[in-house]
Structure 1
Amino acid sequence: MTHSPGTATAWDALGGDPALLSRITCRRRAGALPARLPVIELARACVGVCALAGAELASLRSGRPLGSVHVDDGAVAAAFTSERHLRVDGRAPVNFAPLSRFWRAQDGWVRTHANYPHHRSRLCEALGLGPDAAEGEAAELIAASPAHEVEEKAYAAGALAVALRTPAQWAAHPQGVAVAARPLLTRQRLNDAAARAKQDVTPPRVLDLTRVIAGPTATRTLALLGADVLRVDSPHLPEDPCAHADTGFGKRSTRLDLSHNADRRTFEELLADADVVVVGYRPRALDRFGLAPQALIERRPGLVVAALSAWGDYGPWAERRGFDSLVQVATGIAATEGSPTKPGVLPAQALDHGTGYLIAAGVLRALTDQVREGGSHVLHHALAQTAHWLQYNVQPQTGTAQDAVDDAAWLTETDSALGRLQYALPPVSFTGGPTDWARPPGPWGADEPVWTSP
């Protein structure tokens, strides 16, 4: 099977040459990411355009003809649920903490996210609970409150809770209106920085300022395709060990406190030699450190900056925190997959994973454009934009699948400093491209803040 209409839409949004779409073939498999919404079609499209962008850049670098791109539903389904397949010395991860769940409110439903200690403490504060509150106490308080009141109290406390909405309710919400008026993603070329010679982007140096799934999936994919990726975290925001193990393949990890002068100087030295910065914090959260896209480009002309947010950098929710599970609830996806009286979920954190592959594709396309025409490039992605695309613009496809899906066929194991790891293989596949990451993840924050590439 050739590429889907969704693939063509995404490739057009990335500024790709439509003639290259003929390089993509897909192997369909029954049972891959089953849902009421066309999740597998979205997943195929995101992985397909990422692989095509990788093949395009590899061809430009090497001077060899562009080969074929192959998307397999089995690989895609396993990759989109990679955090569930991870095993560390045989141990399965805990993907949601006890206070990260649906709750019945006085007039509907609320979903909360409290996987990280600081999010849990803020949620307890918003609900008027002690730091060691049990699920039953939280359930009792939420059940006595209107859903939107819980949402607003959580936002005011810096916590994460979202009231369940139907698609129609979200479409009428000011943030839903703002999202619907935007494209799937935005790309900007900001200045006339000189075009780069092919060798100057081999391999690109990527500063990874992201957390959780979408951003780390993007940078994990860039690492697969040869980038020198250095993830930089604050020592004050510890990462979940399983999340780090799942998305740390191919990358190195360091910690810098940008409020300290010495660490700030180290970051600026890294930035001076970087080709790409991927930022996954909510809009304007890091502006005080000079990490807004335009500020980064002023200090490093010719940079590619990819900025990720939950709700978009526009509208009344621009500065709100958010995660895939919460975006599903706010936008009406949870009501569609279940009902307004019994919400459901997608078969994967598909907004996260899909957006991650779109970010990687955008970076790869920007690097290709830089070789051809130069310039600094800024990309903006939002989980809510990907959600809107899934709900209204990705078309389900009919036809007979060639095989049944088998996740086990796309899992492998390796030894690492973290233990024996079982993990999902990358779904990005093209002629002459890599089939696995060059290195497993190491301990969080254990690497020196230096580039390893020349």
Structure 2
Amino acid sequence: MGHEHGTSHGSSAVKAEGLVKVDRSSSGAADVVEELWTGLGLPPEALSCLHLEGDSEPALPSSFRIGLLAQSSIALSALAAAQLHALRNQVEVPSVQVPLQHAIIEFKSERLYTIDKQPRPAPQNPIGGLHQTADGHIRVHDSFPNHSNGMLKLVGLPLGSTREQLAEAIAKWRSAELEDTATVKGNLAAYALRSYSQWDALPQSQAIPDSPILLQPLTSDSSPGFLGRGTKGSTKCLKGLRVLEMSRVIAAPLCGKTLAAHGADVIWITSPNLPNLPDIDREFSRGKRTLQLDIHEHADKAQLMELIEHCDVFVQGFRPGSLARYGLSPEELVKINPAIVIANMSAFGPAGPWTNQRGFDSLVQTCSGMNVSEAEHADQGEPARPMPCQALDHASGYLLATGVIAALYHRAIQGGAWQVDVSLAGTMKYLRSLGQYPGTSGFQCDDYKQQAHIPAEYLETRDTGFGRMTAVKHSANISGCEVGWDIMPKPLGSDSAEWL
């Protein structure tokens, strides 16, 4: 039972470039929700409780239908939370609304918060981004110091070299050769710029399923019926559910943040050995308690295992198989906790030759043809143009949260342990199937580049461990239920290793 869904009435299969592709260019937000909802085996009658207003016009300057993806992915996660609330309280599924404008603003949330009225600082001395090679271009990831320093070392430059010096060194390499040396054979993150046809010719392209959410049962050993602790009468849809999250950057942390918005107790585990991204962490730690554990240390590992034994959901955002060497493979986790829901976020998914490669939103946009197609539509003579937000990260986070809640629903009905897989490349494939606005028409709309551009009703101001934070509220509304975050950002490692 893999729950690999088919197509909705807004979809059709078309033959292109030797591959059968699904064309969803006539789909609206309700069609997307219906297709993915039914593919997850959730009750179809709940779909009538979803109310989505908006149109198919561009919502951010892009050829891609980012507004459609934002509204539908957030709506899916909220409707799933409402469905679980109805099951737990034996009531009708409450009404769910997600305004299109609010959804698209939330897709830029990490760029739009302020602390003590100061916006997120710009990165210092960036060396990454798109670089010209001997035969094309490559995008270098430099958010983490091990990536930027490692790239400088790879091309023979001293630490502290400038972006211009790196560009001069990279210009001597062929794109695919540098990608292979840095990313496949090394521990860095750099991908060659490809067109759609070049991406489609790769075996990895063909290993990505049409469904962006893969849900499967791992066992049938645990008893059905469990819905969380102390839940009766709660106005928070996921109250009493315990979520353990080991993740970094945006997509997987957004999954935990979304579950927290609906009331789950989320403990975010970070490592004192890995670099963090404090400016991003402050946005995606909303709603979470935070714990730092070194799983190389016996005492810390024991604390982690104790938390896993008593959690409902384990969210992880590391490459497939990378946690297995620490005794955290799905098989080991199910032995520890026979009713666990395991949620995996990766760059390229659980199958194909690239499955074990690291990757980030901007890199998947680069290697998959999206940046080339965006530039062609913008018609400004650029070799590549990134999307105006991290749409793959954000959508993937909401899709993973949806898969988690679907797994909790099925666990309540039939028991067992469950696994959910979402990848940035899977979300990319789905967004591509939604089609693109013709010519430059997608760019004829406003962007939201600073907080002053945002309607006041979409913002909230709260005290945090770092100062007074003004940030984007969650865009989903569930009738009669509370949605939002009780816990505000604080320094990593501020909490104790115990469930509420």
Correspondence for 1:383: 424
Q: Which secondary structure state, in structure 2, belongs to the residue aligned with residue 338 of structure 1?
A: helix
Post-superposition CA distance 1:324-374 (Å, at most 9, x none): 000000111101111395201112100000000011111111111111111
Q: Does 1:103 align with 2:103?
A: no
Correspondence for 2:191: 162
Q: Report percent identity of matched pairs.
A: 33
Pair 127,15 (structure 1): closer, same or farther in 2 beyond 3 Å:
farther
Correspondence for 2:223: 194
Counterpart of 1:119 (choices 134, 147, 154) is 147
Deviation at residue 22 of structure 1 after TM alignment: 1.7
Alignment of 1:21-100 (within 5 A): 21-28=47-54, 32-94=59-121, 98-100=126-128
Structure 1 unaligned regions, length at least 5: none
Pair 149,199 (structure 1): closer, same or farther in 2 beyond 3 Å:
closer
Post-superposition CA distance 1:36-82 (Å, at most 9, x none): 12111111111111110010011112222111110111211111000
Correspondence for 1:342: 383
Alignment of 1:241-280 (within 5 A): 241-280=278-317
Pair 396,24 (structure 1): closer, same or farther in 2 beyond 3 Å:
farther
Greater Cα shift, 45-54 or 145-154: 145-154
Q: Does 1:135 align with 2:157?
A: no
Counterpart of 2:318 (choices 258, 270, 281) is 281
Deviation at residue 158 of structure 1 after TM alignment: 0.7
**Matched letter for residue 15 of structure 1:** G
Correspondence for 1:204: 241
Structure 2 unaligned regions, length at least 5: 1-26, 232-238
Deviation at residue 224 of structure 1 after TM alignment: 1.0
Greater Cα shift, 111-120 or 196-205: 196-205
Distance 1:194 1:68 in 2: 30
Correspondence for 1:355: 396
Distance 2:228 2:197 in 1: 50
CA contact (8 A) 1:3 1:24 kept: no
**Matched letter for residue 273 of structure 1:** H
Deviation at residue 240 of structure 1 after TM alignment: 1.2
Q: Which secondary structure state, in structure 2, belongs to the residue aligned with residue 283 of structure 1?
A: coil
Q: Which secondary structure state, in structure 1, belongs to the residue aligned with residue 478 of structure 2?
A: coil
Greater Cα shift, 13-22 or 227-236: 13-22
Pair 35,259 (structure 1): closer, same or farther in 2 beyond 3 Å:
same
Alignment of 1:371-450 (within 5 A): 371-393=412-434, 407-409=454-456, 410-450=458-498
Counterpart of 1:222 (choices 229, 251, 259) is 259
CA contact (8 A) 1:109 1:147 kept: yes
CA contact (8 A) 2:190 2:363 kept: yes
TM-score by length of 2: 0.85
Pair 291,33 (structure 1): closer, same or farther in 2 beyond 3 Å:
farther
Deviation at residue 24 of structure 1 after TM alignment: 1.3
Correspondence for 2:33: 7
TM-score by length of 1: 0.93
Pair 376,59 (structure 1): closer, same or farther in 2 beyond 3 Å:
same
Distance 2:196 2:43 in 1: 33
Distance 1:145 1:101 in 2: 16
Deviation at residue 428 of structure 1 after TM alignment: 2.3
